Chain A
Amino acid sequence: GAVVSQHPSWVICKSGTSVKIECRSLDFQATTMFWYRQFPKQSLMLMATSNEGSKATYEQGVEKDKFLINHASLTLSTLTVTSAHPEDSSFYICSARQRGGIQETQYFGPGTRLLVL
């Protein structure tokens, strides 16, 4: 089956530093990848949608200069949290839609837990 990985699985950083999270589709090509954020005991909130080779589309209220998304290849998308602050601490989850696959299916990564001190 289609597998999506995320790296790192967890990260602790100091306030003001930048953190990069990778999302990879391991055995398929992903035309579209999605980034979600989940605060404790809450649901997943879509942050942005990225298509390979084009700029990401951000949801309302998500700062594109703070959350940089790069989808440079059909198997890799990265989310960089710039100048992270404690309020950015959250669980970040990516998902990928398979190129040529059933468009209604998204495959989710295991998530990355970010703690900003």
Chain B
Amino acid sequence: SQQGEEDPQALSIQEGENATMNCSYKTSINNLQWYRQNSGRGLVHLILIRSNEREKHSGRLRVTLDTSKKSSSLLITASRAADTASYFCATDSSGSARQLTFGSGTQLTVLP
């Protein structure tokens, strides 16, 4: 079942600006992951943040996790036209199955 909701559904910004996407989920998690998908392509893993972590950085990406609010955010700094893609959060829920449940996604468009 679809657990995560993301907002905004679509975001359009100018190159050089920062882009922030939010994800909310419903159940307890082991970790939360962010993926990128270019149109019609497979998924690229961006970053993973564990339930006991609050913030994580990777290059121009910054992810936060608030387990009390069951929410996460992905910040892309100094965006580039090549960052144009759909971004999905995915939760790895507590339990033995270790399945990923994907959010609804945010379509990011970075205008040159």
Q: Which residues of A contact B (CB under 8 A)?
A: 32, 34, 36, 41-46, 49, 59-60, 91, 93, 95, 97, 103-106, 108-111, 113
On whether the beta carbons of B48 and A104 are closer than 8 Å, the reply is yes
Q: How far is the CA of A91 from the CA of B39 in the complex (A)?
A: 11
Which among B14-22, B56-64, B68-76, B94-102 touches the partner chain? B94-102
Return chain B residues, CB-CB under 8 Å to A113: 40
A34 to B42 Cα, complex, angstroms? 14
A-B contacts, 21 listed (Cβ < 8 Å): A41-B107, A42-B104, A42-B105, A43-B2, A43-B88, A43-B103, A43-B105, A44-B102, A46-B99, A46-B100, A46-B101, A59-B1, A60-B1, A95-B100, A103-B98, A105-B48, A108-B35, A109-B42, A110-B41, A110-B42, A113-B40
Within the complex, the shortest CB–CB distance from B40 to chain A, in Å, comes to 7
**A93 touching B2 in the complex, CB below 8 Å, given contacts A44-B102, A46-B99, A104-B48:** no
B30 within 8 A of A: yes
Inside 8 A of B88's CB, which chain A residues have their CB? 43-44
Q: Is the interface of B mostly helix, strand, loop or mixed?
A: strand
Instruction: Indicate if B31 sits at the interface (CB-CB under 8 A).
Output: yes
Contacts of B48 in A (CB 8 A): 104-105
Q: A43-B103, A91-B40, A110-B41 in contact; A104/B92 too (CB < 8 A)? A: yes
| B1-13 interface bits toward A, Cβ cutoff 8 Å, 1 = contact, 0 = none | 1100000000000
Residues of B within 8 A of A34 (CB): 99-100
Contact, CB under 8 Å: A93 / B100? no
Are the CB atoms of A108 and B42 closer together than 8 Å? yes
Contacts of B44 in A (CB 8 A): 108
Q: Which residues in A have their C-beta under 8 angstroms from that of B100?
A: 34, 46, 95, 106
B43, CB-defined interface residue at 8 Å: yes
Residue of A nearest to B30 (CB): A104
Tell me the complex Cα distance, A49–B99, Å.
8
How far, in angstroms, from A44 to B97 measured CA to CA in the complex?
17
